[in-house]
Amino acid sequence: MDTSSPSPPPCAINVLVVIFSLREDTLRVLLSANGNDWQLPGQPLAEAELLEACALRAFQQQVDSPEVYLEQLYTYGAINAPGRQAVSVVYFALLPADSRIETAGGLHWFRIDELPPLRDNHAEIVAYALRRLRYKLEYSAVGFELLPEEFTLTELQHTYEVILGEKLDKRNFRRRILEAGIIEETNRRRMRGEGRPARLYRYRPDAVAEVKARRLFP
Amino acid sequence: MDTSSPSPPPCAINVLVVIFSLREDTLRVLLSANGNDWQLPGQPLAEAELLEACALRAFQQQVDSPEVYLEQLYTYGAINAPGRQAVSVVYFALLPADSRIETAGGLHWFRIDELPPLRDNHAEIVAYALRRLRYKLEYSAVGFELLPEEFTLTELQHTYEVILGEKLDKRNFRRRILEAGIIEETNRRRMRGEGRPARLYRYRPDAVAEVKARRLFP
DNA sequence: AGAATAGTGTCTCTCAGACATTATTTG
DNA sequence: CAAATAATGTCTGAGAGACACTATTCT
């Protein structure tokens, strides 16, 4: 079998990015205006370009931030492409909560429970990305990507609560996260002016962050 | 932003399939000969074709089987494609153990621990597919896709042991899988000629098969 | 009767989850 | 000293894992 077809049909490979961040105490997605509806930021794949590089390009076209957590989500056979090949490779990106970023014009952070009409199958894509984010939160340390480098335990717990959409017990949360050895104390504290200052913690990237899922069968 | 570029560059979208099955008490992958080395079965995406349809086509070109479990794995920016766009969308397929299938010429079932030299990045792809299969086995009911419709508990346990590469306790295995309510008894038994005949069980596709992973944090 | 395989129950220990009070800081 | 937020420990119940013997069929 020869996988390099001699004369390939007309084709479009696009890379889309679902950008999540915590803003105003809610989980939000960055969308760009497109006529009457909205769409995910995206870029056509350039010649000989790596997929992740293209995703980063699509991200940085909208957001002025040098670093970002990017992960490939899924590839959709593009709809509305009769007579040619077409796919959308989708990535999701996580942006720290306090990052004061510049966003290009025509962009808006939408609450994930108040999305506007979206073009093509982008609503389906956002829904799937959210499911994956929630799921991933349960077995990996991906939640730290939504926080600044130093954070208090209360802030961390709050992040989890917002994404999972449920309240968590403060003592159990602290016990488990400290036992997991995944964060470390700093000597700094955060003064908010009122009440006792909270100790700041830092994520330990060297910690083994994936936990084995509980097996369905032995 | 306009995602439909006016004149797209030359392009190739290929779909590859990693086909797993249990043969001769080991987990194996189906590979096709390609000159001096071997490769994953694959097909170029046809015009306006769905990705999963293309994966099924690539599968059925090699294996005469009407039904198969297919799942999208990952999309790789194609290497060796200077001056054009190219991607490989990879699926993995699970084939029941006893299926007496016809395989086209130039194909071979390789043990996953004795792979031959593979073209391009196909070795990396197989390694990743195996990791995903093992991981998925732990939180979903994907293991049943590797078994015939009716099976004994010993066969089921054996399947898990082969894929996970470890021995499991018989009593714990049975207790947990029966408590999970994911399989049901049939009235039939399997006579192997020697020893006590084993009861046959059947997978209940209506059972909720995904189990929540244990959270890393509360 | 013997060989081969199927089938079954208990105990222990770890860990998740529920729960209320004390400690530190500012105004 | 009052208000605000941070920090801390115990008990209970569920479930994972270790472990050995009895039951059924065939020759």
Q: Which class for A107: exposed (0-12), middle (13-18), buried (19 or more C-beta within 10 A)?
A: middle
Query: How far, CA to CA in Å, does A155 sit from each of A109, A160, A174, B123, B154?
Result: 21, 9, 12, 43, 49
Higher-confidence position of B103 and A90: A90
What letter does residue A118 receive in the DSSP assignment? B
A-facing residues of B in 76-105 (CB < 8 A) are: 76-77, 81-85, 87, 89
What's the pLDDT at B24? 87
In tens, the pLDDT along B39-83 reads: 999 999 999 899 999 999 999 999 988 889 999 999 999 888 788
What's the pLDDT at B139? 77
- Amino acid letter, residue A28: R
Name the band, by pLDDT with cuts 50, 70 and 90, for residue B212: low
Residue written as tokens 């732990």?
B138
Report d(CA A179, CA A164) in Å as an integer.
21
CA distance A212 to chain B (A): 8
What's the pLDDT at B1? 46
Instruction: Return the structure tokens found at A18.
Output: 């679902």
Instruction: Return the structure tokens found at A174.
Output: 């602290």
| Partners of B33 in the β-ladder | B38
Instruction: Return the structure tokens found at A106.
Output: 């025509």
Report d(CA B167, CA B161) in Å as an integer.
6
Is A134 at the interface with chain B, CB within 8 A? no
**Averaged pLDDT, A189-211:** 81
Name the band, by pLDDT with cuts 50, 70 and 90, for residue A210: low
Report d(CA B56, CA B65) in Å as an integer.
10
What's the pLDDT at A39? 97
Residues of A in contact with B39 (CB under 8 A): 1, 3
Q: Which class for B92: exposed (0-12), middle (13-18), buried (19 or more C-beta within 10 A)?
A: buried
Pairing of strands B26-34, B107-111: antiparallel
Pairing of strands A85-95, A11-23: parallel
Nucleotides of strand D within 7 Å of the protein's CB atoms:
3-10, 16-20, 23-27
Phi, psi of B177, deg, nearest 5: -70, -30
Name the band, by pLDDT with cuts 50, 70 and 90, for residue A2: very low
Which residue of B13, B57, B84, B204 is the best one to mutate when testing the A interface, meaning the one whose CB has the most A CBs within 10 A?
Answer: B13
Name the band, by pLDDT with cuts 50, 70 and 90, for residue B8: low
What's the pLDDT at B76? 97
Name the band, by pLDDT with cuts 50, 70 and 90, for residue B118: very high
**What is the distance in angstroms between the CA of the first residue and the CA of the last residue of chain A?**
41
Which of these ranges, A160-174, A188-202, B200-214, has the smallest mean pLDDT? B200-214
Name the band, by pLDDT with cuts 50, 70 and 90, for residue B3: very low
What's the pLDDT at A169? 95
**Averaged pLDDT, B182-211:** 84
In tens, the pLDDT along B15-26 reads: 999 999 999 889
Q: At A214, is the secondary structure helix, strand, or coil?
A: coil
Name the band, by pLDDT with cuts 50, 70 and 90, for residue A97: confident
Q: At B105, is the secondary structure helix, strand, or coil?
A: coil
The pLDDT of residue A79 is above 90: no
Report d(CA A75, CA B72) in Å as an integer.
8
The reply to whether the CB atom of residue B186 sits less than 7 A from any atom in nucleic acid chain C is no
For the question of whether the overall pTM of this predicted structure is more than 0.85, the answer is yes
Average pLDDT, chain A: 87
Instruction: Return the structure tokens found at A137.
Output: 């939160």
Report d(CA B189, CA A88) in Å as an integer.
49
Report d(CA A88, CA B77) in Å as an integer.
12
**What is the distance in angstroms between the CA of the first residue and the CA of the last residue of chain B?**
41
The pLDDT of residue B137 is above 60: yes
Q: Which class for B185: exposed (0-12), middle (13-18), buried (19 or more C-beta within 10 A)?
A: exposed
Q: Which class for B195: exposed (0-12), middle (13-18), buried (19 or more C-beta within 10 A)?
A: exposed
What's the pLDDT at A132? 93
Sorted by where each starts, the structural domains of chain B and their CATH numbers stand as 11-139 (3.90.79.10), 147-203 (1.10.10.10)
Residues of A in contact with B76 (CB under 8 A): 51
Name the band, by pLDDT with cuts 50, 70 and 90, for residue A200: very high
What's the pLDDT at A46? 93
In tens, the pLDDT along A5-52 reads: 455 567 899 999 999 999 988 999 999 999 999 999 999 999 989 999
Report d(CA A21, CA A23) in Å as an integer.
6
- Amino acid letter, residue B47: E
